[in-house]
Amino acid sequence: MATTTLTPAASAYRTGLYEWLTTTDHKKIGILYIVNSFIFFFIGGLFALGVRTELAQPGLQFVHDELLYNQLFTMHGTVMIFLFIIPMLVGFGNYVAPLQIGAPDMAFPRINALSFWMLPLAGILLLMGFLTGGAAQAGWTSYSPLAQDRPLASTGPGEDLWIMALLLIGTSSILGGINFLVTIFKMRAPGMTMFRMPILVWTVLVTSVLVVMATPVLTSALIMLFIDRNYGGHFFDPGGPNGGGGSAILWQNVFWFYSHPAVYIMVLPAMGMISEILPVFSRKPLFGYKAFVFATAGIGALGFSVWAHHMFTTGQVFLPFFSLMTFLIAVPTGVKMFNWIFTLFRGKLTFSTPLLFALGFLSMFLIGGINGAFSAAVPVDFALQDTYWVVAHLHYVLFGGSVFGVMAGLYYWFPKMTGRMLNETLGKVQFVLMFVGFNLTFFPMHQLGLAGMPRRIADYASDAGWNDLNLAATIGGFTIAASTLPLIWNVFSSLRAGKPAGDDPWEANTLEWATSSPPPPYNFDHLPEIRSERPLFDLRHGRTVVH
């Protein structure tokens, strides 16, 4: 069994910039994904601060130009979804999943590197819009005919750059998804049967199926939009300069056919991370392992039949079907919530930072899930469509869910990735700031939505009664921004002088903790016997031996 102090293989790493630029090691690529995603997290966060600063008071004080405001919220959404959350979770999957199944690397290491390097390129393409006369401004959903090239819609190359960036990111996702699936199906260590895989690996598997089946549809939609804009096509243009004849609703269908499953792409791996962390910090096995696996698969399957709940008010979709399917998705999600709570129930809890963020995930995702179920009801949806309620809901799911999950995962796996622990005090300061700031930002948005405030507006009437809540949300937004400062300080100071972690600082259950921190190239010298989904627990308690 490899140990931290006795790892001659670690020196086999070439060092320096060249190694990072050319690496095909899944662990280094995973770290590249995570670092790249954090950079875009800060860029997307700046856009959000721009939006919140403008909305703090009625009138146009900060942005001055509604078109620039449109660019800010469009780029905020696009960067956060496509360049932060999705790649961040892929990064954790990349680092952890091969280790957890006892594999030496991903199935296709060079394709893995290719998948990653498309992302910074896509990010640069996307942001270049600001330098070429205005970034995309049709929202991250890029509805047609708003996204068509015409006055007062998306003129200029910004929208085309947006399309090209998303095509690159989509291709990166598809290649990554195929890589994960082959790795999980073909590279598992002896004894690692499907039903002994850690839950994180299961969620990566289901996510990859969603990526492989849904992302190509977005690719086709983006290509059609590109043809419409640049070659006079008629897919989505119902009328206008090109002669029309297309269907604007068609864009919404093909777009949401990807982008609803994308919601599960953005949350399932975070659920997997939580499911690794809760058992470790409550000293219990995960409650209902198989139920959890089937619930994950159920969410994946149902995820393909709910896309039109984004389109209730178009009058072009079959409301009872999509409403029913949307309600149904609450069932497997409820199963998971039940499993998490009963994993904690009567456990021996240690309130370390990973567990705090995991509990943050549970409580915030619960709110996001419940207000999502409200919106599944057609009459409620008609009242709330395109109000701030929707903004509140999606942030409770994607920030309260995915981002809290990512932070939990970062505190949990940082010792494995670097060999050093993150500072607990700074971690708790970050958690409190982030949790308070998050709720101060997004909880008032529920009330703003119910009070009728539409999303995607730069200005509002001062007598609409929205002033105080907007100011509160803006203060919350800056609190969230402040919460990233302890994180940055924590990462840099811990890299230099953090407490050495050892192989297994958390007394965890899964195989990544059976090797050194950080693991050597190809990960394992020896593997423990695998007889359950908790091989290290078995080893610690003398049920199995190391070969």
Partner 1 sequence: MAADTRALTSTGHASVDHSPVGGLAHDARGGISNPILGMILFICSEVMFFSGLFAAYFSVRASYSNWPKISADAGLNEHFNLHAEPFYALGLTIILVISSFTCQMGVWAIRRNDRTGLTRAIGVTLVLGIVFLIGQAYDYATLGFGLSDTPFGTTFYTLTGFHGAHVFGGAVMLSVILYRGLAGQFSSRHHDAVEAVSLYWHFVDVVWIALFSTLYIL
Q: If residue 346 lies in a helix (H) or strand (E), which one and from where to where?
A: none
- In one letter, which amino acid is 143? Y
Cβ closer to partner 1: 238 or 454? 238
CA separation for the pair 324, 223 (Å, rounded): 32
CB of 8 to partner 1, least distance (A): 10
CA separation for the pair 164, 153 (Å, rounded): 18
320 cis-preceded (ω within 30 degrees of 0):
no
CB of 521 to partner 1, least distance (A): 7
Cβ closer to partner 1: 41 or 202? 202
CB of 247 to partner 1, least distance (A): 5
Cβ closer to partner 1: 213 or 337? 213
CA separation for the pair 179, 111 (Å, rounded): 8
CA separation for the pair 175, 112 (Å, rounded): 8
Cβ closer to partner 1: 86 or 221? 221
Cβ closer to partner 1: 186 or 346? 186
Interior CA angle at 149 toward 145 and 152, to 5°? Answer: 80
HSE toward the beta carbon, residue 206, CA cutoff 13 A: 31
CB of 221 to partner 1, least distance (A): 6
CB of 223 to partner 1, least distance (A): 7
Cβ closer to partner 1: 103 or 398? 103
354 cis-preceded (ω within 30 degrees of 0):
no
CB of 318 to partner 1, least distance (A): 15
Cβ closer to partner 1: 104 or 347? 104
- Tracing tokens 């990072």 back to the chain, one arrives at 20
Cβ closer to partner 1: 318 or 542? 318
Q: Which two tokens stand for residue 389?
A: 């309620």
CB of 254 to partner 1, least distance (A): 5
CB of 7 to partner 1, least distance (A): 11
CA separation for the pair 36, 78 (Å, rounded): 15
CB-count burial class (<10 Å; 0-12, 13-18, 19+) for 231: exposed
Cβ closer to partner 1: 68 or 223? 223
CB 528 within 8 A of CB 546: yes
C-alpha distances out from residue 23 to 8, 181, 237, Å: 19, 21, 45
CB 534 within 8 A of CB 343: no
CB of 505 to partner 1, least distance (A): 24
CA separation for the pair 173, 205 (Å, rounded): 13
Cβ closer to partner 1: 221 or 440? 221
CA separation for the pair 84, 44 (Å, rounded): 8
Q: Which residues lie across from 454 on neighbouring strands? A: 387
Contact residues for partner 1 (CB under 8 A)? 9, 24, 102-105, 107-109, 174, 177-179, 181-182, 185-190, 212-221, 223-224, 227-228, 231-235, 242-243, 245-247, 250, 253-254, 257, 520-525, 527
CA separation for the pair 158, 141 (Å, rounded): 14
CB of 348 to partner 1, least distance (A): 35
- In one letter, which amino acid is 290? K
C-alpha distances out from residue 286 to 277, 282, 532, 538, Å: 10, 9, 12, 15
CB of 216 to partner 1, least distance (A): 4
Cβ closer to partner 1: 8 or 542? 8
CB 26 within 8 A of CB 94: yes
Cβ closer to partner 1: 221 or 472? 221
CB of 182 to partner 1, least distance (A): 5
Contacts of 210 (CB under 8 A, 6+ apart): 177, 261, 262, 264, 265, 268, 300, 303, 304
Taking alpha carbons only, the member of 468, 440, 439, 466 closest to residue 451 is 466
CB 94 within 8 A of CB 79: no
Cβ closer to partner 1: 215 or 296? 215
CB of 259 to partner 1, least distance (A): 13
